[in-house]
Structure 1
């Protein structure tokens, strides 16, 4: 049997449209039934493409279908679960307690600092893993922090498993691929270029895998918002980090107004008064009296105390 047939775009589209997959409890019966719903020539073409893909794929990649025991149970609960995954790494992570940490690619320094602090606090629990989308910004910081604190990660891709996108994360891909305790997954099997439609599909998987979704910074129109809305539809807990020093968190504040929980940070920002003097002062004197709060670190972050 060719498991990857469930990942062929035209076959999966048919299954999603007809809900045929819900009528079967195992892959074998579905596989035997599928040819009867297509013209023979079309079916044989799709099958040949998938056979060729399985023949040429990396031997370290595993295929996990909706009907396999390894398939993550939380994903089976969502409205439109992926029918099959290509996976590289430790499939046992699907059994861990999973939390999703996501946010904008153009993240502010305080959000990056908060992401690191959040991961550090969560690392007290050794039986959990971090899920995110392998994007730049918050996603990258979440994974780098997790790896530093010894927490396993699950990277959900919006491309095929053989494509390292975005290129700016190639170092992160390398670390994850070389560590057998980490995991990369994607529902895109055959050649799929990064596109606007692939990332919302990826985002529903990120939220679908997790019990809790942490939104660290988000504009009103962003991929992070689509992850949050997927989480709402899937009845997941949503936490939003909000801070006055963020570049753009209008989307996060909108989520709070719609009922998401606030990830509180108690902030003590020291105030300094600058006395205007008519006399000339040295650079060192000016530096000591500047209005930038001295409590601010070089990375732009602040000491944050979370209430989780």
Structure 2
């Protein structure tokens, strides 16, 4: 049987529309009837492409289908789970409890500092893994902090496995691949370039894997909001970090107004007393200044409680 046929774009599109996969308990049963739904030449072409892909893929990659015991139970709960995922690393992490930490690529120093502190607090739970999207900004800081605290990470890609995107995270990819207790996964099997449509699909997998989703900073129009709305549809708990020194957390504040929980703790300095200086991300990049009220390390002046 060719498991990767479940990840062929044309076949998976058909399965998502018809949902016939819900009628079967074992992959072997679905595999036997699938050819009946396609023209013979078309099916044989798809099968040929998948056979060639499996033959040429990295032998260390493992394919996990919806019907396998290794498939994460939390991901089975969502409406449109990927029917097969390609994994590189410790597949056993798919059975561990996970929390997602996500946020904007154009993250402010206070949000990056908050992300580090959140990961430090989460590291006390030795069975927990952190899932995110391998993007720059919050995703990157969450994973680097997790690796520093020996917390397992699960990176969900919006591209084919083996494509290190974005290039600015190549050092992070290297650290993950060198650590035997980390995992990279994707539902995109055949060659898939990064595109606007691939990342919303990735985002619903991130939230689908997690029990809780932490939004560290988000504009109103962003991929982070896409993850949050997926989490809402999947009935996940959502926590939002909000601070007056963030560049743009309009999306995060919108989520709070819609019922998301606020991630906060006891403040050492009252927020009202902080001299807030409005500064965009681009301005901060040019000036590299630390807004008043923050330490040189971007410290929050705030202690978290979870």
Shift of 1:188: 0.1
Paired residues for 1:162-241 under 5 Å: 162-241=162-241
Equivalent in the alignment of 1:298: 296
Paired residues for 1:62-141 under 5 Å: 62-141=62-141
Equivalent in the alignment of 1:307: 305
2:184 partner SS: strand
Q: Which runs of 5+ in 1 are unaligned?
A: 274-291
1:100-139 per-position Cα deviation (integer Å, ceiling 9, x unaligned): 0000000000000000000001111101000000000000
Equivalent in the alignment of 1:277: none
Q: Which runs of 4+ in 1 moved over 6 A?
A: 270-273
Equivalent in the alignment of 1:276: none
Contact kept? 1:98, 1:210, Cα under 8 Å: yes
Q: TM-score, normalised by structure 2?
A: 0.92
Shift of 1:15: 0.4
Equivalent in the alignment of 1:159: 159
Equivalent in the alignment of 2:259: 259
* Gap change, CA 1:237 and 1:88, over 3 Å in 2: same
2:264 partner SS: strand
Equivalent in the alignment of 2:48: 48
- Looking at structure 1, the residues matched to 73 and 18 of structure 2 have their Cα atoms a distance apart, in angstroms, of 23
Contact kept? 1:111, 1:301, Cα under 8 Å: no
Shift of 1:272: 9.8
Paired residues for 1:18-33 under 5 Å: 18-33=18-33
Higher CA-based Rg: 1
Shift of 1:302: 1.8
Q: TM-score, normalised by structure 1?
A: 0.91
Q: Which runs of 5+ in 2 are unaligned?
A: 276-290
Report the count of equivalent residues. 290
- Looking at structure 2, the residues matched to 193 and 272 of structure 1 have their Cα atoms a distance apart, in angstroms, of 44
Contact kept? 1:115, 1:141, Cα under 8 Å: yes
